[in-house]
């Protein structure tokens, strides 16, 4: 089975919860201390063996492209000043052989529509999706865990997290009758996007997926779902009738940085190391 080498990062969202900070800066570029949020997700993907990062972006997100491009002026100045450590930070060795591709999503029609924009770049293969808003700190990383499970079981795998009853309506939620509890592996029999009432479980989709290319068949003709958006969850639900999909409950510290609370918690958590030293 071919390795998972491509990752899609949808970054076209408006970031209205962080206005006015996100008026001129994409929410993915907000810093978690000294590194933008999006770089955590890119780093996670690259360290898990991903070779091509496909951003689904919009015309207001130019600075994400700038961030992953070389900045020769700054490199030259840092070089002249002998600032080797700073140079390593802006021109990271691990990103040297990575292909960065940018696709503009014409209108914001939802996560499913964003993923569909990359159809022509995905062949007959499994590919990763990372939602940069969800910062997950663990080793091995969450996407590496999902890639391993998907290669072992030769199927699509969705990252899961246990979420409390009051918050579960903000997420995609799975139901599963067949559980391999030792491995934290759940075979899905259903999945619902943002259930208004009666969530099928406390297991929420949390920011990471490894999906089969078959998902595009279901995305292509999908009607808008909740909030009038083309939902990736709805396509996964349709795919379930034809292909097995697993959910994997991964360990690790998780922060929903799409919310102010999660963003502040992430910074506070990582700041401890700085304050303790």
Q: Which residues bind ligand G1P (CB under 6 A)?
A: 111, 131, 134, 171-172, 193, 204-207, 231-233, 258
Cα–Cα distance, 172 to 194 (Å, whole number): 5
Closest alpha carbon to 48 in 131, 152, 133, 127? 127
Q: With H, G, I as helix, E, B as strand and everything else as coil, classify residue 38.
A: helix
CB of 48 vs ligand G1P, minimal distance in Å: 18
What are the DSSP calls for 57-100, one per residue?
E-TT-HHHHHHHS--HHHHHHHHHTT-HHHHHHHS-GGGTT-EE
CB atoms under 10 Å from CB of 224, counted, come to 14
Q: Which is nearer to ligand G1P, 136 or 270 (CB)?
A: 136
Minimum CB–partner distance for residue 15 and ligand G1P (Å): 11
Question: Which one, 78 or 174, has the nearer CB to ligand G1P?
Answer: 174
Query: CA 201, CA 221: separation in Å to the nearest integer?
Result: 28
**Please, which residues have CB within 8 angstroms of residue 182's CB and are 6 or more apart in sequence?**
none
- CB closer to ligand G1P, 48 vs 205: 205
Which stretches of the chain are DSSP H helices? 37-47, 62-68, 72-80, 84-90, 111-116, 142-153, 215-220, 232-239, 260-276
State whether residue 1 is helix, strand or coil. coil
CB of 226 to ligand G1P, least distance (A): 9
For ligand G1P, which is the closer residue by CB, 78 or 142? Answer: 142
Token reading at 40: 């955590």
Nearest to ligand G1P of 6, 27 (CB atom)? 27
Q: Is 227 helix (H, G, I), strand (E, B) or coil?
A: helix
113 vs 134 by CB, closer to ligand G1P:
134
Q: Smallest gap, in angstroms, from Cβ of residue 35 to ligand G1P?
A: 20
Q: Shortest Cβ distance from residue 246 to ligand G1P (Å)?
A: 16
> CB of 146: closest distance to ligand G1P in angstroms?
13
Say how many C-beta atoms besides its own lie within 10 A of residue 8's C-beta: 26
If the CB atoms of residues 144 and 256 are measured against ligand G1P, the closer one turns out to be 256
Taking CB atoms, the residue at the shortest distance from ligand G1P is 172
- Rounded to a whole number of angstroms, the minimum distance from the CB of residue 98 to ligand G1P is 23
């Amino acid at each position: 089975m071919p390795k998972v080498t491509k990752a899609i990062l949808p970054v076209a969202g408006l970031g209205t919860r962080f206005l006015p900070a996100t008026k001129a800066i994409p929410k993915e570029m907000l810093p978690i201390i000294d590194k933008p949020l999006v770089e955590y997700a890119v780093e996670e993907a690259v360290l898990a063996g991903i070779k091509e990062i496909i951003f689904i972006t919009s015309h207001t997100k130019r600075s994400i492209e700038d961030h992953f491009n070389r900045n020769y002026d700054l490199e030259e100045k840092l070089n002249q000043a002998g600032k080797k450590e700073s140079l390593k930070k802006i021109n990271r060795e691990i990103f040297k052989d990575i292909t960065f591709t940018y696709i503009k999503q014409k209108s914001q029609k939802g996560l499913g529509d964003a993923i569909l924009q990359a159809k022509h770049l995905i062949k007959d293969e499994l590919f990763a999706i990372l939602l940069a808003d969800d910062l997950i700190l663990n080793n091995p990383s969450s996407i590496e865990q999902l890639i391993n499970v998907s290669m072992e079981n030769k199927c699509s795998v969705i990252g899961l997290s246990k979420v409390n009853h009051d918050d579960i309506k903000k997420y995609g939620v799975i139901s599963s009758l067949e559980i391999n509890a030792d491995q934290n592996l759940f075979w899905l029999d259903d999945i619902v996007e943002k259930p208004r009432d009666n969530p099928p479980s406390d297991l929420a989709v949390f920011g990471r997926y490894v999906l089969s290319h078959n998902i595009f068949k279901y995305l292509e003709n999908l009607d808008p779902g909740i909030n009038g958006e083309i939902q990736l969850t709805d396509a996964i639900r349709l795919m379930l009738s034809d292909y097995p999909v697993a959910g994997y409950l991964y360990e690790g510290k998780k922060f929903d940085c799409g919310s102010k609370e999660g963003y502040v918690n992430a910074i506070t958590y990582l700041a401890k190391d700085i304050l303790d030293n």
